[in-house]
Structure formats: structure tokens, C-alpha cells
């Protein structure tokens, strides 16, 4: 049995707020291929509950959308039977090879990068990951990485170097999707655009339309 096919074009990373589950549901209806549950600061218990509720809501409306947990391999492992497909880990989280051993061959595992050095290191564990996130594209208050901003010009060399698909992240809006698609990335990850949208479903639909326009 192969791992689930990945649609990375619009990758929604949740923020904090009372309507995360409903926004995740709307994003799935709009066609988001991946939804990563991230809400910091949050306890493991609360992340478990939130991720379970997101997975249930998402799969009610679009079973093909893959739900991942941010950072916590233990929470992803606990929710395998609830439809959580895997985990996205950072450079300081559990080693992706250990995560793969724990979650099994069919889980989806992503890894944060953003420099040539980090992408090259990710190539060394490419058998354990399905994609890498690379950023920041531009400055964002959502997460301070300390890495240099990539801009549009930073992505083509990373996409060429990487052995796995690359997802751009960091202050990205729907209006950036077309230009980023032309850099060779497989998709764009968006937090605030979807969290702040008056119509998150329509926002996700626009992201996908713009990304496809860039790929044409």
C-alpha cells in the first residue's frame, strides 16, 4: 500500500482561535490538499483534541484532504485511527527517521527547511520524508525562524536541489501563488490568509486557481 498522494498546491496551516475547526472544514471544501494543525502555545492534550476535531470535520466534507499535526509525533501516533495522516516537524523536533519508524511507511512526514544547507541535509533523509517546507518567503509574525528571507528568487535553487517536493511558506497570500508556482515549488503554505479570510473556502479556491495559472 502506497502513501496517500499529496496535493500540496494549497497547504493550510491553522492558527489560534475559536473557529479553527470551521475554518479547516471550509478550507477542505475549497480544495486544500493538506491541513496542518498548529496552535501555539498549546498542551499535548489540547492539541490532541483539536487535531481530532479538525480531522473529523475535514473528512466529513473531503476525505482526500490530509490532516497533519505540527511537531508532535506522539499526538499524530495517537490519532492514526482518527484519520490523522502524519506530522510536520521542525529542525529541533524528533528526528524524521525516528518519526518514520514510529508512524510507519504510509504516514506523511514533512520537514522544515529554508536554506541550501538544510535542504541538502534533508536530501540525506529523503527516504523518511514526503516533502519539505521552505521559508520564510517574506517576514511574518506567525513564526520567527531566524533564517534569511527567500523571496521569489530564493526558491528555484532550493526546488532544483531538493529530492522531495518543496512547499513555500512565510507571509504568503493568494496573490503570491501564481508567481511562486513558477519557481518550481509544489505548493504554498498559508496561515493568516485563510485564518483572516471572510470566506475561507473562496480564499483557498483562489489560491489553487492562481497556483494552477502559474503552472500553465
Q: What is the pLDDT of residues 23-57, one digit of tens each?
A: 999 999 999 999 999 998 899 999 999 999 999 99
CA distances from 175 to 12, 146, 192, 195 (A): 15, 25, 13, 16
pLDDT reading at 142 higher than 90? no
CATH of domain 10-215: 3.20.20.70
Q: Which whole number is the average pLDDT over 99-125?
A: 98
Pair 208, 9: CB distance under 8 Å: yes
Q: Write down the pLDDT at residue 5.
A: 77
Pair 176, 150: CB distance under 8 Å: no
Q: Which helix (H) or strand (E) holds 111?
A: strand 108-113
Domain boundaries, the chain: 10-215
Q: With a threshold of 0.85, does the pTM exceed it?
A: yes
- pLDDT band of residue 3 (cuts 50, 70, 90) is low
Burial track 84-111 (b if 16+ CB lie within 10 A, e otherwise): bbbbbbeeebeebeebbeebeeebbbbb
Q: Write down the pLDDT at residue 2.
A: 59
- pLDDT band of residue 143 (cuts 50, 70, 90) is low
Place of cell 513555500: 168
% pLDDT > 90, the chain: 91
Amino acid at each position: 500500500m502506497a502513501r496517500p498522494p499529496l496535493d500540496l498546491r494549497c497547504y493550510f496551516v491553522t492558527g489560534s482561535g475559536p473557529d479553527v475547526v470551521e475554518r479547516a472544514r471550509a478550507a477542505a471544501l475549497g480544495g486544500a490538499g493538506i491541513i496542518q494543525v498548529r496552535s501555539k502555545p498549546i498542551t499535548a492534550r489540547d492539541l490532541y483534541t483539536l487535531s481530532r476535531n479538525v480531522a473529523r470535520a475535514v473528512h466529513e466534507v473531503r476525505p482526500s484532504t490530509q490532516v497533519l499535526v505540527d511537531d508532535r509525533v506522539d499526538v499524530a501516533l495517537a490519532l492514526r485511527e482518527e484519520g490523522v495522516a502524519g506530522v510536520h516537524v521542525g529542525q529541533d523536533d524528533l528526528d524524521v527517521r525516528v518519526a518514520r519508524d514510529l508512524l510507519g511507511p504510509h504516514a506523511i512526514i514533512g520537514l522544515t527547511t529554508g536554506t541550501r544547507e538544510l535542504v541538502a541535509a534533508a536530501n540525506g533523509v529523503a527516504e523518511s520524508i514526503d516533502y519539505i517546507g521552505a521559508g520564510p518567503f517574506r517576514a511574518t509574525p506567525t513564526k520567527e525562524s531566524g533564517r534569511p528571507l527567500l523571496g521569489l528568487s530564493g526558491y528555484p535553487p532550493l526546488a532544483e536541489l531538493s529530492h522531495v517536493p518543496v512547499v513555500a511558506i512565510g507571509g504568503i497570500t493568494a496573490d503570491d501563488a501564481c508567481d511562486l508556482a513558477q519557481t518550481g515549488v509544489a505548493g504554498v503554505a498559508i496561515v493568516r490568509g485563510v485564518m483572516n479570510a471572510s470566506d475561507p473556502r473562496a480564499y483557498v479556491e483562489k489560491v489553487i486557481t492562481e497556483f494552477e495559472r502559474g503552472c500553465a
